[in-house]
Amino acid sequence: MTKPMNKTVLVVDDEDDVRLFLTTALIEAGFEVAQARDGLEALEIVKKQPPDLISLDLVMPKHSGVRFYHELSKNKKWASIPIIIVTGHARDDLGKADLRELTMSGPGIYLEKPVKPTNYIAAIKKLLCVEVTPEEDEAAETVAIQNELKNLVDGADPATLKKIKELLKGRSND
Protein backbone atom coordinates (compact mmCIF):
# COMPACT_ATOMS: atom_id res chain seq x y z
CA MET A 1 0.00 0.00 0.00
CA THR A 2 1.13 3.50 -0.83
CA LYS A 3 0.06 6.96 0.25
CA PRO A 4 -2.15 8.99 -2.17
CA MET A 5 0.10 12.04 -2.15
CA ASN A 6 2.09 10.61 -5.03
CA LYS A 7 -0.98 9.89 -7.19
CA THR A 8 -2.58 12.19 -9.75
CA VAL A 9 -6.25 11.96 -10.74
CA LEU A 10 -7.67 13.62 -13.87
CA VAL A 11 -11.27 14.76 -13.37
CA VAL A 12 -13.19 15.09 -16.65
CA ASP A 13 -16.63 16.70 -16.44
CA ASP A 14 -18.29 19.58 -18.30
CA GLU A 15 -20.15 20.76 -15.17
CA ASP A 16 -18.09 23.28 -13.18
CA ASP A 17 -19.76 22.37 -9.90
CA VAL A 18 -19.19 18.67 -10.38
CA ARG A 19 -15.51 19.24 -11.12
CA LEU A 20 -15.17 21.51 -8.08
CA PHE A 21 -16.87 18.96 -5.85
CA LEU A 22 -14.83 15.98 -7.02
CA THR A 23 -11.59 17.95 -7.03
CA THR A 24 -12.13 19.20 -3.49
CA ALA A 25 -12.83 15.69 -2.23
CA LEU A 26 -9.71 14.33 -3.94
CA ILE A 27 -7.43 17.07 -2.66
CA GLU A 28 -8.81 16.56 0.82
CA ALA A 29 -7.94 12.87 0.49
CA GLY A 30 -4.36 13.77 -0.46
CA PHE A 31 -4.39 13.33 -4.25
CA GLU A 32 -2.95 15.64 -6.88
CA VAL A 33 -5.72 16.70 -9.29
CA ALA A 34 -5.89 17.83 -12.91
CA GLN A 35 -9.16 19.00 -14.48
CA ALA A 36 -10.70 18.95 -17.96
CA ARG A 37 -14.04 20.24 -19.19
CA ASP A 38 -14.40 17.88 -22.14
CA GLY A 39 -12.85 14.94 -23.92
CA LEU A 40 -10.64 17.07 -26.13
CA GLU A 41 -9.11 18.98 -23.23
CA ALA A 42 -8.66 15.72 -21.33
CA LEU A 43 -6.76 14.19 -24.22
CA GLU A 44 -4.33 17.12 -24.28
CA ILE A 45 -3.63 16.70 -20.57
CA VAL A 46 -3.04 12.97 -20.92
CA LYS A 47 -0.59 13.60 -23.75
CA LYS A 48 1.47 15.99 -21.66
CA GLN A 49 1.31 14.22 -18.31
CA PRO A 50 -0.53 10.88 -18.09
CA PRO A 51 -2.41 10.69 -14.78
CA ASP A 52 -2.59 7.66 -12.52
CA LEU A 53 -6.38 7.50 -12.82
CA ILE A 54 -9.15 9.21 -14.80
CA SER A 55 -12.56 10.17 -13.43
CA LEU A 56 -14.77 10.36 -16.53
CA ASP A 57 -18.19 11.75 -17.38
CA LEU A 58 -19.97 10.38 -20.47
CA VAL A 59 -21.85 13.24 -22.11
CA MET A 60 -19.72 16.30 -22.81
CA PRO A 61 -19.05 18.70 -25.68
CA LYS A 62 -15.80 18.49 -27.71
CA HIS A 63 -15.40 14.71 -27.50
CA SER A 64 -17.81 12.71 -25.42
CA GLY A 65 -16.58 10.31 -22.76
CA VAL A 66 -16.89 7.36 -25.13
CA ARG A 67 -14.92 9.13 -27.84
CA PHE A 68 -12.21 10.08 -25.35
CA TYR A 69 -11.99 6.51 -24.10
CA HIS A 70 -11.54 5.18 -27.64
CA GLU A 71 -8.68 7.62 -28.25
CA LEU A 72 -7.10 6.45 -25.02
CA SER A 73 -7.36 2.81 -26.06
CA LYS A 74 -5.29 3.40 -29.19
CA ASN A 75 -2.18 4.10 -27.09
CA LYS A 76 -0.66 1.15 -25.26
CA LYS A 77 0.58 3.23 -22.37
CA TRP A 78 -2.65 5.18 -21.93
CA ALA A 79 -4.88 2.15 -22.31
CA SER A 80 -3.71 0.80 -18.97
CA ILE A 81 -4.75 3.90 -17.01
CA PRO A 82 -7.67 2.91 -14.74
CA ILE A 83 -10.93 4.77 -15.32
CA ILE A 84 -13.87 5.40 -13.05
CA ILE A 85 -17.07 6.56 -14.73
CA VAL A 86 -19.16 9.22 -13.03
CA THR A 87 -22.33 9.71 -15.00
CA GLY A 88 -25.93 10.77 -14.78
CA HIS A 89 -26.97 8.44 -17.61
CA ALA A 90 -25.95 5.05 -16.31
CA ARG A 91 -29.14 3.05 -16.49
CA ASP A 92 -31.59 5.12 -18.44
CA ASP A 93 -32.38 4.72 -22.12
CA LEU A 94 -29.94 7.43 -23.11
CA GLY A 95 -26.82 6.13 -21.39
CA LYS A 96 -27.29 2.40 -21.14
CA ALA A 97 -25.74 1.51 -24.49
CA ASP A 98 -22.68 3.69 -23.94
CA LEU A 99 -22.21 2.36 -20.43
CA ARG A 100 -22.47 -1.24 -21.58
CA GLU A 101 -19.88 -0.57 -24.25
CA LEU A 102 -17.41 0.84 -21.74
CA THR A 103 -17.96 -1.68 -18.97
CA MET A 104 -17.67 -4.65 -21.34
CA SER A 105 -14.48 -3.49 -22.99
CA GLY A 106 -12.82 -1.35 -20.37
CA PRO A 107 -13.20 0.23 -16.98
CA GLY A 108 -15.11 -1.86 -14.51
CA ILE A 109 -16.32 0.73 -12.04
CA TYR A 110 -18.91 3.41 -12.48
CA LEU A 111 -20.76 5.64 -10.09
CA GLU A 112 -24.11 7.15 -10.79
CA LYS A 113 -24.69 10.81 -9.99
CA PRO A 114 -25.29 12.11 -7.40
CA VAL A 115 -22.11 10.68 -5.91
CA LYS A 116 -21.28 10.63 -2.20
CA PRO A 117 -17.71 11.79 -1.50
CA THR A 118 -16.83 8.84 0.73
CA ASN A 119 -17.96 6.37 -1.93
CA TYR A 120 -16.06 8.25 -4.60
CA ILE A 121 -12.75 8.40 -2.72
CA ALA A 122 -13.03 4.80 -1.59
CA ALA A 123 -13.58 3.56 -5.13
CA ILE A 124 -10.59 5.51 -6.42
CA LYS A 125 -8.30 4.33 -3.65
CA LYS A 126 -9.27 0.74 -4.38
CA LEU A 127 -8.42 1.14 -8.04
CA LEU A 128 -5.06 2.68 -7.22
CA CYS A 129 -4.22 0.19 -4.45
CA VAL A 130 -3.99 3.00 -1.96
CA GLU A 131 -4.55 2.43 1.75
CA VAL A 132 -8.15 3.13 2.79
CA THR A 133 -9.64 4.08 6.13
CA PRO A 134 -12.05 1.59 7.75
CA GLU A 135 -14.94 3.87 6.82
CA GLU A 136 -13.79 4.04 3.21
CA ASP A 137 -13.21 0.31 3.13
CA GLU A 138 -16.78 -0.37 4.17
CA ALA A 139 -18.05 2.20 1.66
CA ALA A 140 -15.98 0.68 -1.16
CA GLU A 141 -17.33 -2.77 -0.41
CA THR A 142 -20.85 -1.37 -0.41
CA VAL A 143 -20.27 0.24 -3.79
CA ALA A 144 -18.84 -2.97 -5.21
CA ILE A 145 -21.78 -4.99 -3.96
CA GLN A 146 -24.27 -2.45 -5.28
CA ASN A 147 -22.61 -2.56 -8.70
CA GLU A 148 -22.67 -6.34 -8.77
CA LEU A 149 -26.31 -6.43 -7.67
CA LYS A 150 -27.27 -3.97 -10.38
CA ASN A 151 -25.62 -6.10 -13.04
CA LEU A 152 -27.28 -9.25 -11.74
CA VAL A 153 -30.69 -7.63 -11.51
CA ASP A 154 -30.37 -6.35 -15.08
CA GLY A 155 -29.91 -9.86 -16.37
CA ALA A 156 -32.39 -11.64 -14.11
CA ASP A 157 -35.56 -13.32 -15.33
CA PRO A 158 -38.95 -12.41 -13.83
CA ALA A 159 -39.06 -15.39 -11.45
CA THR A 160 -35.64 -14.54 -10.01
CA LEU A 161 -36.62 -10.90 -9.66
CA LYS A 162 -39.55 -11.95 -7.53
CA LYS A 163 -37.26 -13.98 -5.27
CA ILE A 164 -34.86 -11.05 -4.92
CA LYS A 165 -37.75 -8.78 -4.08
CA GLU A 166 -39.06 -11.15 -1.39
CA LEU A 167 -35.58 -11.53 0.06
CA LEU A 168 -35.00 -7.78 0.28
CA LYS A 169 -38.45 -7.23 1.76
CA GLY A 170 -37.74 -9.89 4.37
CA ARG A 171 -34.48 -8.20 5.31
CA SER A 172 -36.08 -4.79 5.63
CA ASN A 173 -38.72 -6.28 7.94
CA ASP A 174 -35.94 -7.59 10.18
Partner 1 sequence: MPKKRADISEVLWLQREVLEQLPFNVAVIDRDLDVVDANRSFTERFGEWRGKKCYEVYKKSGCPCDRCNALKTFEDGQSRVTDETGLDQDGRMTHYVVHSAPLRRTPDGPVEYILEMSSDVTETSKWQREYQILFDRVPCYVTVIDQNYRITRANEAFRERFGDAVGEYCYKIYKRRDRTCPNCPAEKTFEDGQAHRSNQVGTSKKGEKTHYHVMTSPLQRGDGRVAHVIEISSDVTDLKKLQDEMIEAERLAAVGQTVAGLAHSVKNILMGLEGGKYIVSLGLKKEDKQLIEQGWEMLERNFDKTTTLVKDFLEFAKGRVPHAVPTDPNQLVNEIIGLYRDVAAQSGVDLRADLDPKIKPAPLDPDGMHTCLTNLVSNALDACAMSEKENAWVEVRTRNEGGALVFEVADNGTGIDYEIKKKIFTTFFTTKGGQGTGLGLLTTRKIVQEHGGKIVVKSRPGEGARFRIELPRERLAGLAKQQSNDDIE
Judged by beta carbon, residue 96 or residue 163, the one nearer partner 1 is: 96
Q: How big is the CA angle at 65 (ends 109 and 156), to the nearest 5 degrees?
A: 45
Cβ proximity of 57 and 87 under 8 Å: yes
Binding marks (x or -) toward partner 1, 71..110, rule CB under 8 A?
A: -----------------xx--xxxx--x------------
On the 0-12 / 13-18 / 19+ scale of CB atoms within 10 A, 154 is: exposed
Contacts of 13 (CB under 8 A, 6+ apart): 19, 22, 37, 55, 57, 60, 86
CB closer to partner 1, 16 vs 166 = 16
| 116 touches partner 1 by CB under 8 A | yes
Closest of 21, 143, 2, 1 to residue 84, by C-alpha: 143
| Closest CB 1 distance from partner 1, rounded Å | 25
Of 21-29, 42-50, 127-135, 152-160, the segment contacting partner 1 by CB under 8 A is: 21-29
Under the binding rule (CB under 8 A), the answer on residue 154 touching partner 1 is: no
In 64-133, where do the E strands start and end? 83-87, 109-112
Give the binding range for partner 1 (CB under 8 A) out of 19-27, 46-54, 122-130, 146-154: 19-27
Subset of residues 47 to 76 that bind partner 1, contact rule: CB under 8 A: 59-64, 66-67
Cα 166 from Cα 51, distance rounded (Å) = 45
Neighbours of 50 (CB within 10 A): 16
Stretch that binds partner 1, among 22-30, 126-134, 149-157, 161-169 (CB under 8 A): 22-30
Q: Which residues contribute to the site for partner 1 (CB under 8 A)? A: 14-18, 20-22, 24-25, 28, 37, 39-40, 59-64, 66-67, 88-89, 92-95, 98, 112-117
